[in-house]
Structure 1
């Protein structure tokens, strides 16, 4: 039971930040563009390490270790939807 205590405490401390990120509404084109540029579409840490054209090993996407990953990805998605639906912009440049 003591091993679960740090996980629960960690989740409780981040709960207000999660709620804040989930509550952000996008109503500004500049903010939406900034979020789409600042939050990558794919994890930038995921890589295949190759030597002489042969794959030695794969580094998995470590972004999912981020406890706020789901909220940040959701924020980016909401920004993309705002640009596409409300502003009528082509968002393929961000995909």
Structure 2
């Protein structure tokens, strides 16, 4: 398998995963709460490294390098919307 065929295969896999994530509908409040807890509201890898009160360097948010980032954030938003609109729950605790 050459490099081009492997890249196309990976692209098909990611496209299928994107489609699957976008097609998920939330109808269960327990699942919505679980996903809101599991999917972070901001990138957990972003850091500012300081030493003796001085900034040494910053690690930028790397989450956008994830090919499924937009779909995962969209799924979290669906869960938050379901909890707020259908369940009447205060979702500020997930932000």
- Equivalent residue number for residue 74 of structure 1: 74
| Deviation string, structure 1 residues 44-85 (Cα, Å, up to 9, x no partner) | 000000010111111011111111000000000000000000
SS at match of 1:81: helix
Which position in structure 2 is the counterpart of 1:88? 88
Quote the offset at 1:13 in angstroms. 2.1
Please list every run of 5 or more consecutive structure 1 residues that lacks an aligned counterpart in the other structure.
Answer: none
Partner in structure 1 of residue 42 of structure 2: 42
Q: Which runs of 5+ in 2 are unaligned?
A: none
Cα distance in 2 for residues equivalent to 1:15 and 1:80: 24
- 1:30 is matched with 30
**TM-score w.r.t. length of structure 1:** 0.90
Q: Say if 1:86 and 1:53 are closer, same or farther in 2 by CA, change over 3 A.
A: same
Instruction: Give the corresponding residue for 2:59.
Output: 59
- TM-score scaled by structure 2? 0.90
Q: Does 1:15 align with 2:43?
A: no
